[in-house]
Amino acid sequence: MGTGMEHADQDVVDRWAAAVAAELNRRLTTETLAIKKVLEASITELRGDARLLELLGASIEGNLDTILHTLQHNIAAEHLEAPAAAMEYARRLAQHGVPVNALVRAYRLGQRTLLDIALSEVEVTNLDANLRLSVAHRIVSVVSDYIDWISQQVVDVYEHERERWLATRSSLRTVRVRELLREEDAPAPETEADIGYAMGQQHLAVILWLPDTGKERIADLEQAAHAIAHCAGARRSPLFVAFDRVSGWAWIPLGGRSTIDRSQIRSCVAERADSLSVAVGTPAHGHSGFRESHQRAQLAHDIALLSDAADRRITFYDEPGLPTIALLSKNIEETKRWVAEILGPLAANTDSAQRLRCTLREFLSRGSSHKAAAEVLNLHYNTVKYRIKKAEDERRRPIGTDRLDVELALQACQWLGKSVLMTEQD
């Protein structure tokens, strides 16, 4: 309704600004995702691994929640506290070598996106033009003041962390390794001397990570890299560099060997008492192999983070189907739609659908043998037969009509988990 006021009373303006903020706070998760998508699409430096992107979302949500509460409750700037997730995200970007200007740009772009959302909300209110303008001015003022304040906070944290990170004993080695991963030309002899590792051999790249408990785990990760290298039969120490405080990259020197004993490496990881997770590339030779093996370990790492399997401690790049799944993971939304099209109700994120998918996957991988699948799953022959029939009934077409697509879709569900499964909201 209109107010008819020529000069809006400040209390009225504040109440309407608070009402807009309350509505946006009700949609906090949705608006956080909207801003996150804009930042990911616009700032390439922010496209890190899944955990870094998750922390980006937490940082956005923390900042958005603080801004909206400031508007709702008229909190003075001097009483604000920076969101913990925003501070940690700045530290993590510093550790990953992301330029500080990318961080600053993220706040400016986030500010613009939030104002677009908030002002659109003001536009749909039934206020006269004068009051609408005053409310919009109030929102712009509070958001701008907050962004100016928080930008200084996160830049200070970033610069302090960057200095600390570069001062660690592995900083030079990390810089040299990142250069090796970027450059295609053969490294100079002094580069190999700086990192203490020879390029002219077979390399096995691994990525190691531990749960983030707020503590630095670099020493634990380096020790784990040495243990895995020993299990892989390496005669020399691996090259290890920290990626951030809870994850690291390593290369195991294989000399002239181009094969590894996976069972030994798997046992080495499984027997550990901690919650170490490992992604493993494939053996490759020389400087190009150094980069190639790491790229494959990175793909295995990305898939492992997307997987819902809590008991998956180690992921090898060349496990059956994984390279193809890595390609499908590049466009999760499109893959999710395709999986739903191929599997129908079997793509649901339910226990019953999961049982049917597991049975069908084993059935197809065992040459469409009910008996062989029953032995692997420790089920009765008739139970397997019933589940396969039920799976076909739910899809409303025989498995044999598009068997290859079905097998690939089942692999996608196994590796990518909830990210490609249908929920009630879908």
Contact call for residues 298 and 279 (beta carbons, < 8 A) = yes
What would the two tokens of residue 409 be?
């879709």
Residue type, 373: A
Q: pLDDT-derived band of residue 169, with 50, 70 and 90 as boundaries?
A: low
Can you tell me whether residue 250 is helix, strand or coil?
strand
Question: CA-CA distance, 296 to 279, in Å (whole number)?
Answer: 9
What would the two tokens of residue 314 be?
């180690």
Interacting residues of 85 by C-beta distance below 8 A, sequence separation 6+: 55, 58, 59, 61, 62
Interacting residues of 326 by C-beta distance below 8 A, sequence separation 6+: 299, 300, 302, 303
User: How many other C-beta atoms can be found within 10 angstroms of the C-beta atom of residue 235?
Assistant: 10
Tell me how many helices (H) and strands (E) the chain has: 17, 6
Q: Flag whether pLDDT at 423 surpasses 90.
A: no
Stretch 319-324: mean pLDDT: 88
Q: Which fold has domain 202-319?
A: Alpha-Beta Plaits (3.30.70)
pLDDT at 413: 92
pLDDT at 3: 44
Q: Flag whether pLDDT at 384 surpasses 60.
A: yes
What would the two tokens of residue 145 be?
């003041």
Q: Please, what is the angle between helix 50-73 and helix 129-166, to 10°?
A: 140
Q: pLDDT-derived band of residue 184, with 50, 70 and 90 as boundaries?
A: confident
What would the two tokens of residue 424 be?
């009630």
DSSP state, residue 317: T
Residue 272 φ/ψ region, left for φ over 0, alpha for ψ in the -120 to 50 degree band, beta for the rest: beta
| DSSP per-residue letters across 330-381 | GGHHHHHHHHHHHHGGGGBSSHHHHHHHHHHHHHHHTTS-HHHHHHHHT--H
How large is the C-alpha radius of gyration of the chain?
Answer: 26
Chain segment 242-261, per-residue pLDDT in tens:
988 899 999 999 999 999 99
Mean pLDDT, all residues of the chain:
90
Stretch 209-234: mean pLDDT: 91
Share of the chain above pLDDT 70, in %: 96
Q: pLDDT-derived band of residue 426, with 50, 70 and 90 as boundaries?
A: low
pLDDT at 310: 66
Can you tell me whether residue 240 is helix, strand or coil?
strand
Cα angle 64, 69, 72 (rounded to 5 degrees) comes to 130
pLDDT at 245: 87
Stretch 378-396: mean pLDDT: 92
Q: Flag whether pLDDT at 390 surpasses 90.
A: yes
Question: CA-CA distance, 376 to 374, in Å (whole number)?
Answer: 6
Stretch 270-284: mean pLDDT: 94
Q: pLDDT-derived band of residue 340, with 50, 70 and 90 as boundaries?
A: very high
Q: Give the strand pairing for 284-285 and 239-244.
A: unpaired
pLDDT at 157: 96
Interacting residues of 31 by C-beta distance below 8 A, sequence separation 6+: 24, 64, 114, 117
Strand-pairing partners, residue 252, are 204
Alpha helices (H) in 232-321, listed in sequence order: 262-270, 286-306
Stretch 369-374: mean pLDDT: 91
What would the two tokens of residue 295 be?
């790229």
Which class is domain 10-166? mainly alpha
Domains of the chain, by residue range, sit at: 10-166, 202-319, 331-420
Element (H, E) at 69: helix 50-73
Share of the chain above pLDDT 90, in %: 68
Stretch 128-135: mean pLDDT: 90
- Closest CA relative to residue 221, chosen from 246, 252, 196, 195: 246
Q: pLDDT-derived band of residue 48, with 50, 70 and 90 as boundaries?
A: confident
Q: Flag whether pLDDT at 7 surpasses 60.
A: no
